[in-house]
Amino acid sequence: MSDFDVIVIGGGTNGLTAAAYAAKRGRRTLLLERRDVLGGLAAGEEFHPEHRTDGVLHDTAGVRAWVARELNLERHGLVRRAEEPPVLLPATNGPGLELWRDPARTAAELAATSPTDGAAYGRHREFLARAAPVLSRFTDHAPPDLHAPGLGDLLQLGRSALGLRLLGKREMMELLRVVPLSLDDWLGEQFETPLLEAGLAAPALHHTYSGPRSPHGAASLLFAECTAGAPVAGGPRALVRALEAAARARGVEVRAGAAVERLLGESGRITGVRLRGGEEITAGAVAASCDPKHLFLDLVPAAMMPRNFERAATAYRARGTAAKVHLALAAYPDLPCRPGAQPAAIRIGEDLETLEHAFDAVKYRRFSERPILDVRVPTLESPDLAPEGHHVFSVLVHYVPYDLEGGWTDAQRENLLHRVLARLRLYLPGIQDAILGHELLTPVDLETRYGVTGGHLHHGEQALDQRLVRPFLGCARYATPFPGLYLCGSGAHPGGGLTCVPGALAAREICR
């Protein structure tokens, strides 16, 4: 008899979700986390005395309401905010722009500079609202097995096609027209305000290996916008606390500081894990929330690996393009473009041309002189992250290559930090005087600390080919070619970010 019914590798949000679901369905479940803290990329940690982060990934708007409902996360302290706060798109000349999901509020922001764009933004949001149910049929359900489809897979494809047709002929054709477009083309035909275009495009480009002129960028924007909802109050660490409580309440055994060294196999089947130190634990099923390249190339016994599958795992693209900077500040610095304002979210990237030039640098293994920044200030909502009056700036720095030309030397690290601070000073001139301490995590640092191959925070690129079949053929519906082994992390359908969806859908398949 196995020690457990299910072993879950990785204590990030997807691993915790999968473990809670499995235990809810009566499976004896063990969760193993190699680090001493749960949460993975959503784990908050001290980076400067008395100043804590709120996780590497800081956007919880993608957490699905149906997952929270099925795991009863409200009972374990999860609260959703009434609405997503606006994102400030600052400017050096003028007030910048507050970007809301609410079209009326964004139109009011645009009234003085472009009433035309205000109306166009309303039409843009209406189109996204109509497309959302169609896209959610793809993102919130287990994917069909396109390699060897059965009757159920064909029925699922049929329901998706029917949902698309029910949009109406005009909307259906518009959606099909938009999907292959670049962001430059799609946003350019709708808007005339460069700052608005850049603010809308940036989230669709984060963690990708593409720029505004790359094909299928509009598809990334559709997926990003149509799956977002109200964020979690308290941010990523509140999400982790609720998921951990839900898992433990259902009887999940949680072991932190337990690194899986190798999977155990017998007669072609995965039967358990061996931990660093030699302990072996058996299970009827193993669900891995680590990234696919690490799972298949490092943990699966080499003798079990088919050559063609090894090639597919090796070819899977996971080129990290983001660094992380945490700043401990004595005060919230002034914003000349919005005197007295203290926005919780700031997105820095002036226009699509700036974003394209930043991507150009990555193609040649460099980082841009004008990096693209996504800034969150978690201390506005969670003041306990820092001493009274102090703040933490959580900065995702985009278009930073993992394989930097010449390598990540101390001089290159200092150069990147200098460029990030120079960009921030453009809009918050007093930030330098407020800095008490900092932490810089390059893509290589992220790989080392969090175990994400290539430093990719979504466990692999989400270009259209790696989104429609994720991670690659041979891993249908979270299963793998190795009986008893399943995927349940961001490298599985529907992809990365703080959503909890891969963990939830994978656990449903495992428990069938």
* pLDDT tens digits, one per residue of 119-153: 999 999 999 988 888 888 889 988 876 556 555 55
Q: Are residues 429 and 371 in the same domain?
A: yes
Q: Is the dihedral of CA 312, 491, 402, 446 positive or negative?
A: negative
> Cα separation of 109 and 297, whole Å?
50
Average pLDDT of every residue of the chain: 93
pLDDT at 122: 95
**Number of domains present in the structure of the chain:** 3
454 has a pLDDT exceeding 90 = yes
224 has a pLDDT exceeding 90 = no
Phi-psi region of 224 (alpha: psi -120 to 50; beta: other; left: phi over 0): alpha
165 has a pLDDT exceeding 50 = yes
Q: Are residues 268 and 347 in the same domain?
A: no
Q: Name the band, by pLDDT with cuts 50, 70 and 90, for residue 2.
A: confident
Is 20 a domain residue?
A: yes
Beta bridge partners of 265: 270
CB 26 within 8 A of CB 53: no
Is 495 a domain residue?
A: yes
Q: Are residues 304 and 397 in the same domain?
A: no
> Cα separation of 179 and 352, whole Å?
19
> Cα separation of 196 and 322, whole Å?
22
Average pLDDT over residues 430-443: 97
Average pLDDT over residues 283-289: 98
| R_g of the chain, CA atoms, integer Å | 22
Is 52 a domain residue?
A: no
Q: Are residues 326 and 446 in the same domain?
A: yes
Instruction: Using alpha carbons, list the distances in angstroms from residue 436 to 174, 382, 409, 504.
Output: 51, 19, 24, 40
Q: Name the band, by pLDDT with cuts 50, 70 and 90, for residue 228.
A: confident
508 has a pLDDT exceeding 90 = yes
159 has a pLDDT exceeding 70 = no
Which residues have CB under 8 Å from 202's CB, separation 6+?
347, 349, 355, 372, 374, 398
The domain boundary residue, chosen from 450, 482, 497: 450
The domain boundary residue, chosen from 207, 226, 245: 226
Whichever domain contains 67, its CATH number is 3.50.50.60
Q: Are residues 219 and 330 in the same domain?
A: no
Is 58 a domain residue?
A: no
Q: Are residues 264 and 307 in the same domain?
A: yes
67 has a pLDDT exceeding 70 = yes
Q: Are residues 70 and 177 in the same domain?
A: no
Instruction: Using alpha carbons, list the distances in angstroms from residue 80 to 24, 161, 419.
Output: 23, 32, 35
Task: Look up residue 290 and give its two tokens.
Answer: 């680590």
Residue whose tokens read 């992250």 = 385
pLDDT at 154: 47
483 has a pLDDT exceeding 60 = yes
What pLDDT digit, counting tens, does each position of 32-60 carry? 999 999 999 999 999 999 999 999 999 99
pLDDT at 174: 86
- The DSSP symbol for 4 reads E
pLDDT at 150: 59
pLDDT at 152: 54
- Model pTM above 0.85: yes
Is 86 a domain residue?
A: no
383 has a pLDDT exceeding 50 = yes
Task: Look up residue 418 and give its two tokens.
Answer: 């200098």
pLDDT at 145: 67
DSSP string, 167-183: T-HHHHHHHHHHTTS-H
Q: Are residues 121 and 181 in the same domain?
A: yes
Of all residues in the chain, the percent with pLDDT exceeding 70 is 95
Q: Name the burial class of residue 339, with classes exposed (0-12), middle (13-18) and buried (19+) by CB atoms within 10 angstroms of its CB.
A: exposed
Domain of 177, in residue numbers:
104-226
Instruction: Using alpha carbons, list the distances in angstroms from residue 425 to 119, 348, 395.
Output: 33, 11, 14
Average pLDDT over residues 63-92: 95
Is 8 a domain residue?
A: yes
∠ Cα 14 18 24 (to 5°): 145
pLDDT at 85: 87
> Cα separation of 15 and 97, whole Å?
38
Q: Are residues 421 and 327 in the same domain?
A: yes
Average pLDDT over residues 20-42: 97
- Lowest average pLDDT, out of 88-92, 127-131, 310-314, 326-330, goes to 127-131
Q: Are residues 115 and 35 in the same domain?
A: no
Is 330 a domain residue?
A: yes
Q: Are residues 301 and 265 in the same domain?
A: yes
> Cα separation of 249 and 413, whole Å?
43
> Cα separation of 99 and 114, whole Å?
14
∠ Cα 383 396 341 (to 5°): 50
Q: Are residues 216 and 242 in the same domain?
A: no
pLDDT at 464: 87
φ/ψ of residue 10, rounded to 5: 105, 125
Identify the H or E element spanning 158: helix 151-165
Is 338 a domain residue?
A: yes
pLDDT at 240: 98
